[in-house]
Amino acid sequence: MHDLILYIQSYLDSDRTPGGAGNIFWATVYILLVFGGLSVAVIAMNWLERKILAHMQVRLGPMRVGPHGLLQPIADAIKLLLKEDIIPAEADKIVFWIAPFIVVLAAFTVFVVVPFGPTHAITDMNIGILFMLGVSSLSVLGIVTAGWASNSHYPLIGALRSSAQMVSYEVAMGLAVLSVILMTSLNATGTGTLSMIGIVQAQLAQGEWFIFKFFPLGLIGFVIFAIAMVAETNRAPFDLPEAESELTAGFHTEYSGFRWSLFFLAEYSAMIAVSSIAVTLWLGGWLRPFPNALSGPTWELVFSLFPGITFVLLALMCFYNTARMPKHPLFKIQTIGLAGFGVVLGVIGLLLFLTPVRVRVTDIFWFAAKVAGFMYLYIWYRGTFPRYRFDQLMKVGWKVLLPTGLTLLICTAVWAMRSDVWFEVIVPLWHYFVGILHWLVSLL
Amino acid sequence: MLAATMIIGGVLVITRKNAVHSAMALITTLLAQAALYLMLYAPFVAGVQIILYAGGIMVLFLFVIMLINLERNMKERQFNKQWLVGIVAAAALGGLFIAVYTTTTRGKVLFPEGRMTYGESQNTQAIAGLLFDRGAGQYMFAFEIASLLLLVAIIGAVVMAKKRI
Amino acid sequence: MDAMLHITTLHYLVLGAALFLLGVIGVLTRRNVVIVLMSIELILNAVNLNLVAFSRYWQGIHGPGALHGQVFAIFVITDAAAEAAVGLGILIAFFRNKETVNVDEVNLLKW
């Protein structure tokens, strides 16, 4: 037993990811952990979305199923699993069966390179960001085949619209990502990197998150990516292909029960995946705020208390709401349930104050906190903005985001080479211009 | 095993009646090929293959398959009148390949292996060096010509597929 | 694991040749234009595999920077994208006029 603890400890202190070290056992453990964490996150997102949307619309949301609706996602999952599995009569059975799996596979494979910490990724590929962009473009294939296999015109139109939208906004995403990759090449060795861990380490080495770099270029890139990622995952306000009032739920109209829940799972995982791309590229990944400016043991201590404090605050909120529960005998189970949930959260919070746990969890906590911020943004967009019409959507993608992305790329490149700009660009242009003037004058 | 996937995928591409099934088989072939590139220590080419080929070109193919009506076509005869000639020609080509690959000249083995001591950590930077480096980049001109080619292809495809020019 | 044979360049070349043959059979024997275009993509993929295998072989001889095969493979992928787009554009234009996608029936210029 002691040997096992030593083995685990010796692993946790290593300086490479499991993929980099070639360790298949730990890679599998990480894969299972990420898979489990992702499932919990999707369930939590379901509940959070309904509650937060409801509170934004001045109503309460699910309150009945568990205490404050906490068991609602589980009830939804059970309902979906028990629903009858309908396959349309003329549908192509093989393709109909494969399509949800393609989307889920694409959405989950992206997490192989997501860095939760300097060594906490499943593997750190040399082409990390390229891999993530590529695999998330594979989900377009799944959507197109899902619409085709349903053999009915609403899903087909919805699928074609959705895939056209996703492909258009991938271009804008790629341009914004490119400008960040440019910024990573400004470190000491002069070579940039495409690996996700390398990008965060470049931010650490250059002392500022890329969202603030070359102000306002980093910010514009971030905004372009934030808009494109919402469109990429078919979420509000770009959710025309799957909106209930427009196309009767678009490409997943004919899918019922378990297959629909696969699409749903894939959509939320894709949301978390592109949010983690945005967090890694612009917001500094797992870095706590001010890693270089406020360094030193006392600041490290202060910032490492944040995970524990967060969970203890959540537990306190649970206890406060327990006290506010109606004092009716029918509510006894819910009150006890909420108090129990508060106790669990409090225990986790107290566990996170212990030193060995605190040191290791702080990277993952900051990453998860930033991704959670993005999830809140997603829900906020859904509650606030009206839906884009499809031609407006394509117009924004091609006519607004693409030129802005290109200009951003050029400006970032020019600013990054600033010392060379005068001699490499401006002076030759001036000479060229003067030469043309001389030639024109000589024609007179 | 990857090779078996690719060959089976290839066979499925050319034998399926339903064009969508052929497209899916081609997608599996392309993904297996990307994995094969990773085995050949070419991660950048693998990434480009997944993004462009599997994520772009195949989406284009699927779009076109869905926009043209292939219902009637699936009931017609699938193989050419000259399929026998085609297979004979391909077999002749295969024989040529086999002849090239198995001939050894005076006992020398074909393609002796050099010292493969190279990891994948600097692959993208090396490719960028070949493409863009001011002193050593040999492919800069080809890069620019490729971008011009893509521009021409975009204009051509848009003009071809318009309803009224 | 000891019985696994060492995968040499020749194995990749044979695989590339097999894929090439499959693509050629597809181009020569199918009637549906879309499947012919997909077989052309198979051919280009086989060529790419050859190129990347040779680039690895070249690296063994000339050191880690000799990635010419991979750069060429990237250009081939770009070209494949362009010709797939143009080919499918032609297909759509033809289908609009004649309502068939069979190669046999593309005979408007025949006397």
Residue numbers in B near A135 (CB within 8 A): 50
Whether C68 is in a domain gets the answer yes
Higher pLDDT, C1 or B16: B16
Domain identity same for A192 and A248: yes
Residue numbers in A near B134 (CB within 8 A): none
Of A70-74, A144-148, A270-274, highest mean pLDDT = A270-274
Domain identity same for B5 and B61: yes
Whether C13 is in a domain gets the answer yes
CA B65 to CA A149: how far, in whole Å? 13
| Sequence-distant (≥ 6) Cβ neighbours of residue A190 within 8 angstroms | none
Q: What is C41-63 written as a DSSP string?
A: HHHHHHHHHHHHHHHHHHHHHH-
Which residue range(s) make up the domain with B28? 1-93
Residue numbers in B near A144 (CB within 8 A): 59, 62-63, 66
CB atoms closer than 10 angstroms to residue A167 = 19
Model pLDDT, residue C3:
40
CATH number of the domain to which C50 belongs: 1.10.287.3510
Where does the pLDDT of residue A253 fall: very low under 50, low under 70, confident under 90, or very high at 90 and above? low
Domain boundary among B47, B71, B93: B93
Structure confidence by residue, pLDDT tens digits, B107-164: 444 555 555 545 555 677 777 766 776 655 678 888 888 889 999 998 988 888 777 6
DSSP state of A66: T
B62 and A125: CB-CB below 8 Å? Answer: no
Q: Which residue of A has its CA nearest to B120?
A: A126
Domain identity same for A138 and A240: yes
Interval A126-138 mean pLDDT: 87
Q: What is A296-336 written as a DSSP string?
A: SHHHHHHHHTHHHHHHHHHHHHHHHHHHHS---GGGHHHHH
Helix (H) / strand (E) element for A211: namely none
**Sole residue written with tokens 């990811």:** A17
Higher pLDDT, C43 or C13: C43
Helix (H, G, I), strand (E, B) or coil at C30: strand
Model pLDDT, residue C2:
40
Domain identity same for A148 and A47: no
Closest to A233 (Cα-Cα) out of A400, A43, A396, A375: A375
Model pLDDT, residue C86:
92
Whether C4 is in a domain gets the answer no
Higher pLDDT, A241 or B87: B87
Residue B105 has pLDDT above 50, yes or no: no
Domain identity same for A195 and A89: yes
Domain count, chain A: 2
Interval A60-72 mean pLDDT: 82
Q: Which of B30, B52, B90 sits opposite C28 (nearest CB)?
A: B90
Higher pLDDT, A255 or C23: C23
Q: Is C78 an interface residue toward B (CB < 8 Å)?
A: yes
Closest to A133 (Cα-Cα) out of A191, A179, A177, A197: A177
Domain identity same for A149 and A35: no
Distance between B126 CA and the closest CA of chain A, angstroms: 10
Whether C84 is in a domain gets the answer yes
Which residue range(s) make up the domain with A242? 83-106+115-286+393-438
Whether C17 is in a domain gets the answer yes
Whether B112 is in a domain gets the answer no
- What ipTM score was computed for the predicted complex, to two decimals? 0.83
Distance of CA B83 to the CA centre of its chain: 23
Higher pLDDT, B117 or B95: B95
HEC readout, A213-243: CCCCHHHHHHHHHHHHHHHHCCCCCCCHHHC
Q: In the structure encoding, which two tokens stand for residue C19, read together?
A: 């894929």
Interval A373-378 mean pLDDT: 91
B19 and C32: CB-CB below 8 Å? Answer: yes
The answer to whether A335 and A70 are in contact (CB under 8 A) is: no
Domain identity same for B44 and B89: yes
Domain count, chain C: 1
CA B6 to CA A77: how far, in whole Å? 37
Q: Is A44 an interface residue toward B (CB < 8 Å)?
A: no
Domain identity same for A231 and A87: yes
Whether B130 is in a domain gets the answer yes
| Sequence-distant (≥ 6) Cβ neighbours of residue B32 within 8 angstroms | B2, B5, B6, B9
DSSP state of B108: P
How many secondary structure helices (H) and strands (E) does chain B include? Answer: 8, 0
Whether A378 is in a domain gets the answer no
Whether C108 is in a domain gets the answer no
Distance of CA A143 to the CA centre of its chain: 19
Model pLDDT, residue B148:
92
Interval A106-130 mean pLDDT: 83
Structure confidence by residue, pLDDT tens digits, C71-101: 889 899 999 999 999 999 888 888 887 777 7
Counting Cα atoms < 13 Å in the Cβ hemisphere of B47 gives 18
The answer to whether C75 and C48 are in contact (CB under 8 A) is: no
Interval A51-65 mean pLDDT: 87
Whether A330 is in a domain gets the answer no
Structure confidence by residue, pLDDT tens digits, A294-350: 677 777 777 778 888 888 888 888 888 888 877 787 778 888 888 888 888 888 888
Query: What mean pLDDT, rounded, does chain A reach?
Result: 81
Domain identity same for A170 and A120: yes
What is the percent of chain A where pLDDT is above 70?
86
The C-alpha angle A101, A106, A107, rounded to 5 degrees, equals 100
Domain identity same for A218 and A143: yes
Distance between C49 CA and the closest CA of chain B, angstroms: 8
Domain identity same for B21 and B87: yes
Domain boundary among B50, B74, B93: B93
Its pTM stands at 0.83
Model pLDDT, residue B137:
66
Whether A359 is in a domain gets the answer no
Domain count, chain B: 2
Chains B and C touch (3+ CB pairs under 8 A): yes
| Total residues found in chain C within this entry | 111
Domain identity same for B87 and B49: yes
Domain identity same for B61 and B8: yes
Model pLDDT, residue B152:
92
Domain identity same for A139 and A34: no
B62 and A127: CB-CB below 8 Å? Answer: no
Whether B105 is in a domain gets the answer no
Helix (H) / strand (E) element for A427: namely helix A427-443
Structure confidence by residue, pLDDT tens digits, A406-435: 998 888 888 777 655 555 666 677 788 888
Where does the pLDDT of residue B103 fall: very low under 50, low under 70, confident under 90, or very high at 90 and above? low
- Touching A (3+ Cβ pairs <8 A), the chains are B
Domain identity same for A137 and A270: yes
Domain identity same for B70 and B140: no
CA A164 to CA A364: how far, in whole Å? 35
What is the percent of chain C where pLDDT is above 70?
86
Q: In the structure encoding, which two tokens stand for residue B49, read together?
A: 């293959």
- Cα dihedral C21, C24, C25, C31 in deg (nearest 10): 160
Domain identity same for A73 and A190: no
Domain identity same for A43 and A130: no
CATH number of the domain to which B68 belongs: 1.20.120.1200
Of A305-314, A370-379, B63-72, B135-144, highest mean pLDDT = A370-379
